[in-house]
Chain A
């Protein structure tokens, strides 16, 4: 128990140091404590990309997501944390309508992407997914060559530029180019797990989406590969809006700017700056969860 306390403290400290370096979000742990009214719905300094209004999901008769109201800012890393079965993946999959593939799933309320309700009649989920890329829990490259894996999204989206150049750029951005540049024709499945996941990230960013959803992208990876993916997420946030589900609180503290905490029952309990959530959560149960008392 005391163990988890100390690790949490350590990581939040280093996170605070990191954000001082990056500037905009800088806030010493002490300052958050002094704030008089840390409102739950902090007005994001950046423009909102995703806005959920009373968003609910039912699987059959089971309520997987209680009404969620949240606004996710652009070009930041938002972490979604919470115990197993709390609806965090369900929420993530609402954003690019991957829940459509679950026959029993029903979505209520609104989820706006740049002001348009993605569950509106006029929205084609295929078009939506071209703006919102996704990286999954288990690396799932196609059983095709590395090149074809990255080029697939470009080809089906009718990219009319230089596909070769775009593939190279994506692999570079995914920090994989130097490792695979001489074996672009070999199968993506021949790579190690960590490389496969970076290949999947390259595949997701190749068609240049605006938002990248990540569903526990490092949970199947070893620590070294995890560290590489985390570094990568940091860099991706300069260009893309990243929304990442993780069950690893240290990871959330390390890499995210904003954190959303879901707790059992599919309820979004708290959302705000990562530093504040980890240093001074408003909700007692969030504090218990973050300090490792349950979950």
Chain B
């Protein structure tokens, strides 16, 4: 037996011309000197491998569905908008008359809503960075483990799932009416802040949690105070993660329509929410404003057929800004990860 197995080893190592001619089946039935040592365990593995291949196929198909849907949607919008996204479209206020949107017409477009959306998102970014990151730092770095902390964290996670229209109602009650901001840019920004705050807090907490304790200990070990540890060690390490989470949340906020309807954003404005203070353009925080999603909605519901092209052009502008924001998030992440 030992002699035969060693000879089969020799045959294998000697080269293919010796081992190959004796096919697998022959070896197995023969049962003698070239028996496949794995023959008894083979079938079960074969079956599992098949299940594995089916699983991969299902996963790949799932991926494909999402991608195909997205590509079709994008292609449709791009085709609709082809030729309608012009410089005039970006720099002129909207118009009721479709002729004004035609190339060579008087010029009409998305300008006030574009500026409104950008200001809205800029304000929201400032508010969420301060409130969201502040809350995350407190919960992660300072608050002691307790039932109260667990309760607060569970509620924050739940708030992330609350429909945006509910936040709109809250914004209407608190900011528009109670605080007296009116149907203004500020009220809109604060409402959007509430909407994305839970997501920003949770993602920032995750970024902070990803900073290894060994880093904190290193700083404490040379005599840093809690504040210095957070400022010099924890925040710099967590910042890329925090920024990524915040920017992605903001790109959700920029496409929101429901809460803005509730706080009374204009569907169509002919003036950007900008004031002229002694020659310097300043955002008009307390004035009315329009935002891109609402402007697009306004165009889409107009009966005249060509307005569908205008709406598509608006969507292209909105998507471009979204894409820009997401690209920024990815750039920030990559820049700091490779360091």
Assess whether B61 is interfacial by the CB under 8 Å rule. no
B218–A156 CB distance below 8 A: no
What residues of A have a CB within 8 angstroms of the CB of B222 in the complex? 129-130, 133, 152-153, 156-157, 203-204, 206-207
B220–A129 CB distance below 8 A: yes
Task: Report A242-266 CB contacts with B as 1/0, cut-off 8 Å.
Answer: 0000000000000000000000000
What residues of B have a CB within 8 angstroms of the CB of A218 in the complex? none
What residues of B have a CB within 8 angstroms of the CB of A156 in the complex? 222-225, 228, 232
Minimum CB distance partner of B226 in chain A? A126
Number of A-B contacts (CB under 8 A): 64
What residues of A have a CB within 8 angstroms of the CB of B225 in the complex? 126, 156
B214–A138 CB distance below 8 A: yes
Assess whether A96 is interfacial by the CB under 8 Å rule. yes
**Shortest distance from the beta carbon of A240 to any chain B beta carbon, whole Å:** 14
Question: Which B218-246 residues have a C-beta within 8 angstroms of A?
Answer: 218-225, 228, 232-233, 236-237
Assess whether B147 is interfacial by the CB under 8 Å rule. no
B215–A140 CB distance below 8 A: yes
Minimum CB distance partner of A96 in chain B? B221
A133–B221 CB distance below 8 A: yes
What residues of B have a CB within 8 angstroms of the CB of A133 in the complex? 221-222
Question: Which B136-162 residues have a C-beta within 8 angstroms of A?
Answer: 144-145
What residues of B have a CB within 8 angstroms of the CB of A187 in the complex? 339
What residues of A have a CB within 8 angstroms of the CB of B28 in the complex? none
A134–B221 CB distance below 8 A: yes
Assess whether A295 is interfacial by the CB under 8 Å rule. no
Complex: A126 Cα to B219 Cα, angstroms = 10
Majority SS of interface residues in chain B? helix
**Shortest distance from the beta carbon of B23 to any chain A beta carbon, whole Å:** 49
A136 touching B221 in the complex, CB below 8 Å, given contacts A142-B215, A143-B339, A156-B228: yes
Complex: A98 Cα to B222 Cα, angstroms = 11
- Number of A residues with CB within 8 Å of any CB on chain B: 27
B237–A153 CB distance below 8 A: no
What residues of B have a CB within 8 angstroms of the CB of A130 in the complex? 222-223
B219–A152 CB distance below 8 A: yes
B218–A140 CB distance below 8 A: yes
A127–B223 CB distance below 8 A: yes
Task: Report A133-147 CB contacts with B as 1/0, cut-off 8 Å.
Answer: 111101011110000
B214–A142 CB distance below 8 A: no
B223–A129 CB distance below 8 A: yes
A101–B218 CB distance below 8 A: no
A153 touching B217 in the complex, CB below 8 Å, given contacts A103-B145, A143-B237, A143-B339: no
What residues of A have a CB within 8 angstroms of the CB of B218 in the complex? 136, 140-142, 200, 203
Complex: A223 Cα to B233 Cα, angstroms = 31
What residues of A have a CB within 8 angstroms of the CB of B339 in the complex? 143, 187
What residues of A have a CB within 8 angstroms of the CB of B237 in the complex? 143
**Shortest distance from the beta carbon of A95 to any chain B beta carbon, whole Å:** 12
A140 touching B232 in the complex, CB below 8 Å, given contacts A152-B222, A153-B223: no
What residues of A have a CB within 8 angstroms of the CB of B220 in the complex? 98, 101, 129
**Shortest distance from the beta carbon of A75 to any chain B beta carbon, whole Å:** 21
What residues of A have a CB within 8 angstroms of the CB of B232 in the complex? 152, 156
**Shortest distance from the beta carbon of B199 to any chain A beta carbon, whole Å:** 27
Question: Which A85-127 residues have a C-beta within 8 angstroms of B?
Answer: 96, 98, 101, 103, 126-127
Question: Which B310-339 residues have a C-beta within 8 angstroms of A?
Answer: 339
**Shortest distance from the beta carbon of A217 to any chain B beta carbon, whole Å:** 12
A129–B215 CB distance below 8 A: no
20 further A-B contacts with Cβ under 8 Å, apart from A129-B220, A130-B223, are A98-B221, A101-B216, A126-B223, A126-B225, A129-B222, A129-B223, A133-B222, A135-B221, A136-B217, A138-B214, A140-B217, A142-B233, A152-B222, A152-B232, A153-B222, A157-B222, A187-B339, A203-B222, A204-B222, A207-B222
**6 closest A-B pairs by CB:** A153-B222, A130-B223, A134-B221, A140-B214, A129-B223, A140-B218
Contacts A/B (CB < 8 Å), 23 sampled: A103-B145, A126-B223, A127-B223, A129-B221, A129-B222, A130-B223, A134-B217, A136-B221, A140-B212, A140-B218, A142-B215, A142-B218, A142-B219, A143-B339, A152-B219, A152-B222, A152-B232, A153-B222, A153-B223, A157-B222, A203-B222, A204-B221, A207-B223
